[in-house]
Amino acid sequence: MMTAREQGIVAEALVREYRGGIRAVDGIDLRVAEGEIYGFLGPNGAGKSTTVHMLTTLLPPSSGTAWVGGFDIVREGPRVRAAIGAALQEAALDPLLTGREHLRLQAALHGLSRADRRSRGEALLERVGLTLAADRKVRTYSGGMKRRLDLALALVHAPRLLFLDEPTTGLDPQSRSALWQEVGRLAKEEGVTVFLTTQYLEEADVLADRVGIIDHGRIVAEGTPSGLKAEIGRPSVEAVPANPDERHRLTQLLERFGEPAQGSPNGDAVRLETGTESLVEIVRALDAEGLDVSHLQLHAPSLDDVFLAKTGRSLEGAAEAPSAEPARA
Amino acid sequence: MTGTFWMQVAQLARRSIVRTIRQPAHVFPPLIFPLGLLAVNAGGLAPATKLPGFPTDSFLAFALAVPFIQGALFATMNAGTDLARDIQTGFLNRLALTPLRGGALVAGLLSGVVVMGVVQAGVYLTVGLLAGSGLASGAGGALVLLGLSALVALGFGAVGALLALRTGSGESVQGLFPLLFVFLFVSSMNLPRNLIEIDWFRFAATANPVSYLIEGIRSLVITGWDGQALALAFGVGTALAAVALAGSAVALRGRMTRT
């Protein structure tokens, strides 16, 4: 078993309290193994960014502690910063500098030699597809280009751990997909540990090896996406009869395969007693009974179902928590 | 101070200068407005030179010191708003995630402000000389004048940085900027203090440190080498810079709470 200091990220009872006693982060424990992509999923105001700010040493915790890359975030801030790269919420770029100038500045501040600054900068520009735009001022960049430059800046000193705070918020699907590919490649090919916050279910599902779901500053569920989904339940099937008069017959038929579940107003749904293989049997039964349906759909559990099961609310409609303004403590 | 520290200062100074050059609104107003005010004053207030005891017969030469201070005040606002923008956009956090030292951040920003202040001073001096003002202290005085301008830019720039670090808001820095101009107008910018007849104004101008900065520069232009005026100007400039830098350092610690 790995010890805390050998692991990528370890947090123990991490708390951040703001003025007025508001706990933006309320006792978080987590472990992220080296080379793992950890998705930190939650609605706006849940405490994701505050957690990232503490783990990246930008904000001291009110209590508890954490080790990042084997270093204590409170006592060994400079060593933590040397080990990590971070792209925080809202790509923090200077609109008046070019992409290349950003990389040179960042590389210089990280202490790279002049020659390394140049070669590393060129390599990163190429990797994120910004070579042609490298000498344009950032204010002319699209949102996706800014995010890619942000990622390149986070990687300039070849960090072992990468923190990405909602990296794809506001991006178009194409830019989002490109960023996912690059993050996945970093973890798989270079062994970079990635701590990724997101409010997008799909992002966590596609990218993360494990997911922590945070709500009101607490982790309410943690595990692999498939494990979490399996944990909260079975798939459901929903059917809408082609002839509304046959609704009752359809209900009786479906109830042979599971208990009733929430469906659309025109149809019926059941949570399947067995797995998705029941769908075939349902189709056969419908055929045998001569029941025509206009709509038949299998619903696999989603991470939103996990969030719903754990918090009683849907993540996609979750309201922001009461103001957790990052006032200076 | 290590080589790394100075390299960080140089990188951030370069960024500060590049940013300024790429913002025409940061380059031209600090040149045009002070020179415009100089032209207006030199033309409109020339009869003041007839006052008994007025130290020169050229109001242009008398007023030439004012653009140096006014330009430095513009630099204050620009430095402050730039730093406040870095705070607001999160760029300061980006810098905080590097091994950057807090002192290098302020020093880099202010180095850029000082370079721009010296360039501005060179322009004011050149325009003044071309317009017919003399320089009583000669070529050596020009160098001292540029040095004093650098010190004034450093002092006012540090005030701008302090305001930005305290408020974290560009709008707040800009809102406080007119207050700084009050110091310029309630000074000996248009008359020698001994010729100001209104008691409260003369008292305010005497208590106002900006008067001594102006009089130091003015002495180089119209008097030559006036040790007392220069000592007061450099003393006030140094004190302003020291106080503002100390305040900035404290404010920076509160702003960059990294562990």
Q: Which residues of chain A have pLDDT under 50?
A: 1-2, 4-5, 319-329
Q: CA A107, A109, A112, A117 torsion: positive or negative?
A: positive
Question: How big is the A-B interface in CB pairs under 8 Å?
Answer: 74
- State the pLDDT at residue A317: 58
List of domains in chain A: 4-93+141-230 (3.40.50.300), 235-291 (3.30.70)
**Average pLDDT in the B43-52 region?**
90
B150–chain A nearest CA distance, Å: 25
Helices and strands (H, E) in chain A, number of each type: 11, 14
The Cα-based distances of B65 to A110, A180, B152, B206, B208 in angstroms read 42, 59, 12, 17, 16
| Secondary structure letter of residue B22 according to DSSP | T
**pLDDT 10s digits, A75-90:** 999 999 999 999 987 7
Q: What is the DSSP string of B115-151?
A: HHHHHHHHHHHHHHHHTT---TTHHHHHHHHHHHHHH
Q: What is the percent of chain B with per-residue pLDDT over 90, rounded to a whole number? A: 66
A106 touches chain B (CB under 8 A): yes
Within an 8 Å CB–CB cutoff, is residue B258 touching chain A?
A: yes
pLDDT score for A328: 36
Do residues A53 and A73 touch, judged by C-beta distance below 8 A?
A: no
User: With a cut of 0.90, is the ipTM above it?
Assistant: no
Q: Closest-CA residue in chain B for A156?
A: B98
pLDDT at A327: 37
Q: How many other CB atoms sit within 10 Å of the CB of residue B3?
A: 7
pLDDT at B208 over 70: yes
Q: Using one digit for the tens of pLDDT, what is the confidence trace for A167-219?
A: 888 788 888 888 888 899 999 999 999 999 988 888 888 899 999 999 999 99
Q: Which residues of B touch A79 (CB under 8 A)?
A: none
Is B100 within 8 Å of chain A by CB?
yes
DSSP letters, B206-240, are HH-HHHHHHHHHHIIIIIS--HHHHHHHHHHHHHH
**C-beta atoms of A101 and B8 within 8 A:** no
Contact A234, A249 (CB under 8 A): no
H helical segments located in chain B: 3-21, 24-44, 59-63, 65-89, 91-96, 102-130, 138-167, 170-185, 199-207, 209-218, 227-255
Q: How confident is the model at residue B64 (pLDDT cuts 50, 70, 90)?
A: very high
Neighbours of A165 (CB within 10 A): 21
- How would residue B203 be classed by pLDDT, with cut points 50, 70 and 90? very high
Q: Between chains, do B258 and A58 touch, taking CB under 8 Å as contact? A: yes
Is some CB atom of chain A closer than 8 A to the CB atom of B254? yes
Q: What is the pLDDT of residue A99?
A: 96
Pairing of strands A63-68, A71-72: antiparallel
> Mean pLDDT for chain B?
91
Question: Average model confidence (pLDDT) for chain A?
Answer: 86
For testing contact with chain B, the best of A100, A109, A117, A150 (most B CBs within 10 A): A109
- Of all residues in chain B, the one with the smallest CA distance to A157 is B98
Cβ contact, residue pair B22, A57, below 8 Å: no
Dmax (CA) of chain A? 78
The amino acid that residue B115 corresponds to is V
Q: How far apart are CA B209 and CA B193, in angstroms?
A: 13
